[in-house]
Amino acid sequence: MIKLPKNIEALGKILAFGFGPDVLKGFIPAYLAKIDLDTCVEYITDDKDLLSNISEEDWIVLRKVAGSAKLEITTKSILSELDKSRPDLWAIIYNTPGGVEWLDRQITRCRQRLGMT
pLDDT greater at residue 81 or residue 30: 81
Q: 31-48: per-residue pLDDT in tens?
A: 787 888 999 999 999 999
pLDDT greater at residue 47 or residue 4: 47
The pTM assigned to this predicted structure is 0.74
Query: Would you say residue 14 has pLDDT above 90?
Result: no
3-state secondary structure the chain: CCCCCCCCCHHHHHHHCCCHHHHHHHHHHHHHHCCCHHHHHHHHHCCCCCCCCCCHHHHHHHHHHHHHHCCCCCHHHHHHHHHHHCHHHHHHHHHCCCHHHHHHHHHHHHHHHCCCC
Model confidence at 19, in pLDDT bands (50, 70, 90)?
very low
